[in-house]
Amino acid sequence: MSDKKMLRVLFCMGINQNFFDAPRDEQLQVWAAFSAMWNGIHDLAGVKVLGNMDDDQSMVGPSDGFPWTTYLLADVPDIETVHAACNLFRSTPVGDGPYKLWRYTKVEARVGRELIIQRT
């Protein structure tokens, strides 16, 4: 039995200006690629998604840093799996064209641990 603790990871994701400049058909292809990436994170071995939050109603326009467009909170078994999740942005194709998802979106993974408050 391993005493190794899961990593608590907040994937902070931003939509950049390339998405907003793209024609509607291309934006729909980006959305399909984003959905594939999102499902890909859920499907990584040992990942337990705890929740998500989307700022799209109170934040308008591109996000290349805080505040981010959307967030995904997950328990992840190791740093290699965190890297694999981030790599989905580099490897997920957008439609049949030459571009990958990272052309339109950005991710920053904040890695920590679960905060446990001891009761006194």
CA distances from 56 to 13, 27, 35, 67, 83 (A): 12, 15, 16, 11, 26
pTM of the prediction?
0.89
pLDDT band at 2 (very low <50, low <70, confident <90, very high): low
Cα dihedral sign for 7, 10, 16, 20?
Answer: positive
Overall average pLDDT of the 68-82 stretch: 96
Mean of per-residue pLDDT scores for the chain = 93
| pLDDT tens by residue, 6-64 | 999 999 999 999 999 999 999 999 999 999 999 999 999 999 999 999 877 777 788 87
In which element (H, E) is residue 11 found?
strand 7-15
CA atoms within 13 A of residue 26's CA, in its CB half-sphere: 13
The rounded distance, in Å, linking the Cα atoms of 119 and 57 is 37
